[in-house]
Structure 1
């Protein structure tokens, strides 16, 4: 099967994986069903696993058999699949930073980023490509594990540093909604954006890294979220359904810590652009803490004691980051 041509050229799919080979296999299978061949597929392996390496080699063979080789990069490498094992677990933030950097160095013009617990829709790249002539950051829609629509909070209240909980779910007459955030579960952005805002910040480790990257992107272009479904989630997560549209998903104590700690990094970036409002941001931090307490009671009650401890520790560490004299933002590339 040969892919038909569309306007989005040299697309690199950047996948970050860690100890979820079964889910990764599902993603690989879905990529092979794409109606447009990706220019590269960069697999960032945070586990540096022999099993994952073997899976990637088999995937590379299948990709080559289906689409052939690709345009060679500066080193002469022409395989569509690039395996990028990491010596340490860099978390999602570090993995996406490493993956985007690798794809950028190879010469990618577009970056479609995702975790290993999704499957792409066959026409996913085609659906994104139709927006690429006028937009540089495109967030496609997703289906949840159960096949229903997945609502994502595309508007970020910068002064509070929190997602807008009442942003309308419907799309307007333009057929898309302007956003000032991003999600690395399917976010797609151009090389020009990377050049102007740099690579994703690996220091976040997990959580808020994609939100912040979308905020930075909104300073140089107009990101949009579109109704076209480009992928679906493949991992079932416990959640609390809110009014049939929004959900409060289960999370881990590690996430809880970084949800609070990384607000320190977020505030430092807001300071760079004159968007930091101390009183309002503190109010947003309190609201975030309260939301996580609700999550613990409604979804993760068995982890209540340890969860509260991680939230408090993360909040304390975020205050240290606010006053770190060594901190600097990720630099632009051009």
Structure 2
């Protein structure tokens, strides 16, 4: 499939209806953080038509907490507790499915470690008549402006860490990536590219989904602060950018999931083995730097090598298929 070229801006004369939007949240054993998010939703004006909470088999008091907000949330609450922990990837896939089946026109994805600013939905909705894949901005836990890498070097399959942070008078910038911490996407695009791929478990899933969306429509990041992060993460401050701490699980999936990415690239006819291999090598190098500079250790490299091994198995799987489109599915 050739790359979509010269995609026009998506302009609609239909005004945005907040009731047509669903907030889809994925949570796992973080009821304290989820409390802050749900409390922020009670203060929203306007509110979405639905709030969907996908619980990745939490063993804390998440279920009781969610039920305590059912009457005071101010909108319809849909709670689904999964039998097993499917990771963020599986949770967002199920959250997208649930919101789609509810008939939502707009689906706003978010983790449990953010809170919504009171006018967040109105700010996102102001752009809805114009675009169909939109990312708002976030404040970090300390109130600073959080920088998100909104551009991907497509042949390498990695984010561009120094894409310009500033906005011009238009108030938006084209993006070819995505982040499930705030992705705001129209059901028309979901129908075309299908659900997020649960096979990733964690990492690269939102970048891949945003990249797939950008091939169907003009995707943008807008100069609107709509979320605030509520969890402090250990960081290495590099001045104009930060590098966050990671975990052994993340290190494994960062490398393993390059196999899924390679297969997506192949399926769309954009795979260049040399350039993609360079992207994989740069990813490996970045994780080594993260270990040394942020976590002050060299332990954990075995997880990177295990990920490379298992990613190779995925890339060689002749039965692998991309997530199917939802066109024709009942919504």
Superposition TM-score, scaled by structure 1 size: 0.91
Query: What is aligned with 2:284?
Result: 289
Cα deviation, residue 173, structure 1: 3.3
Query: What is aligned with 2:51?
Result: 41
| Residues 181-238 of structure 1 deviation map (CA, whole Å, 9 limit, x = unaligned) | 1000011000001100000000000000000000110111011001100001000000
**Structure 2 counterparts to residues 1-334 of structure 1, below 5 A:** 6-49=16-59, 51-63=61-73, 66=74, 80-243=76-239, 245-302=240-297, 304-305=298-299, 307-334=300-327
Q: Hey, what's the Cα distance between the residues in 2 that align with 1:45 and 1:127? A: 27
Contact 2:18 2:49 in 1 (8 A): no
Q: Hey, what's the Cα distance between the residues in 1 that align with 2:316 and 2:274? A: 16
Cα deviation, residue 301, structure 1: 2.2
Structure 1 stretches lacking a partner, 5+ long: 68-79
Q: Hey, what's the Cα distance between the residues in 2 that align with 1:326 and 1:274? A: 17
Cα deviation, residue 24, structure 1: 0.4
| Residues 235-287 of structure 1 deviation map (CA, whole Å, 9 limit, x = unaligned) | 000000112x2110011110010001101101111112111110000011000
Q: Hey, what's the Cα distance between the residues in 2 that align with 1:277 and 1:332? A: 25
Residues 213-222 or 314-323, more deviating: 314-323
Query: What is aligned with 1:72?
Result: none
| CA shift in 2, pair 1:233/1:168, >3 Å | same
Superposition TM-score, scaled by structure 2 size: 0.92
Q: Hey, what's the Cα distance between the residues in 1 that align with 2:215 and 2:268? A: 9
SS in 2 for 1:301: coil
Contact 1:7 1:132 in 2 (8 A): no
Structure 2 stretches lacking a partner, 5+ long: 1-14
Contact 1:46 1:95 in 2 (8 A): yes
Q: Hey, what's the Cα distance between the residues in 2 that align with 1:7 and 1:90? A: 32
Contact 1:260 1:318 in 2 (8 A): yes
Name the count of aligned residue pairs: 313
Q: Hey, what's the Cα distance between the residues in 2 that align with 1:50 and 1:268? A: 37
Q: CA RMSD in A?
A: 1.3
| CA shift in 2, pair 1:172/1:271, >3 Å | farther
Query: What is aligned with 1:76?
Result: none
Q: Hey, what's the Cα distance between the residues in 2 that align with 1:116 and 1:272? A: 33
